[in-house]
């Protein structure tokens, strides 16, 4: 399961970059089923998913778990064999953890975001800072993010 905005493409970006198309194709070849799980509106997500040739759930209401279970049901997948990849701790990752799936937090592609997300980022920054202090992450990319 993938978040869309600032995970696969910049926020509200309409185009599907060629490298992303190739990556999705490669993932499918390796046997992965792909579903976009986005809190963005139906038409934007539907158009993107159609062009990418992947399943989608729009207006997903993350971090509520209903959409996560709906996506798993689409592919008869269990939480143990499902991964949520997203750029937001408070929606993508928090919801994924509640649904019992493996989660991967990625750095956001761009700085441009919905106003609600910009508020969440402030809380997220604090949580990530605390996690960084507690677990002493070693990645230079993560360090850069925490010290911004």
7 to 26, contacts with Mg ion by CB under 5 A?
A: 7
* Cβ count near 51 (within 10 Å): 12
Size of the site for Mg ion (CB under 5 A): 5
| Residue 39 sits in the site that holds Mg ion (CB under 5 A) | no
With contact defined as beta carbons under 8 Å apart, do 86 and 73 qualify?
A: no
111 vs 133, beta carbon nearer Mg ion = 111
Binding Mg ion (rule: CB under 5 A), the pick from 3, 49, 57, 84 is 3
- What does R_g of the chain's alpha carbons equal in angstroms? 15
- Establish if 6 lies at the interface with Mg ion (CB under 5 A): yes
Strand-pair partners of 104? 85
Question: How many CA atoms, within 13 angstroms, populate the side-chain half-sphere of residue 138?
Answer: 0
Binding to Mg ion by residue 40, rule CB under 5 A?
Answer: no
Give the dihedral sign, CA 33/142/89/41: negative
Shortest distance (Å) from residue 148 CB to Mg ion: 18
Contact between 5 and Mg ion per CB under 5 A: yes
In the complex with Mg ion, which residue's Cβ is closer, 23 or 133?
23
Report residue 69 as tokens: 């279970």
Regarding 103 and contact with Mg ion (CB under 5 A), the answer is no
User: Phi and psi dihedrals of 66, rounded to 5?
Assistant: -55, -45
Q: Rule CB under 5 A: is residue 124 a binding residue for Mg ion?
A: no
Out of 36, 56, 85, 87, which residue is the one contacting Mg ion (CB under 5 A)?
A: 87
* Contact residues: Mg ion, CB under 5 A: 3, 5-7, 87
């Amino acid at each position: 399961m993938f978040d869309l905005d600032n995970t696969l493409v910049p926020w509200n970006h309409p185009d599907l970059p060629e490298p992303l198309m190739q990556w999705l194709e490669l993932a499918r070849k390796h046997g992965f089923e792909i579903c976009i799980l986005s809190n963005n509106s139906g038409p934007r997500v539907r158009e993107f998913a159609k062009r990418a040739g992947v399943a989608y759930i729009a207006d997903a209401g993350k971090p509520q778990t209903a959409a996560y279970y709906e996506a798993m049901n689409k592919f008869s997948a269990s939480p143990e064999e499902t991964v949520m990849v997203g750029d937001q701790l408070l929606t993508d990752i928090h919801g994924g953890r509640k649904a019992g799936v493996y989660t991967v937090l990625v750095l956001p592609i761009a700085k441009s975001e919905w106003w609600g997300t910009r508020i969440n980022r402030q809380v997220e920054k604090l949580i990530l800072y605390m996690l960084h202090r507690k677990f002493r992450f070693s990645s230079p990319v993560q360090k850069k993010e925490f010290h911004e």
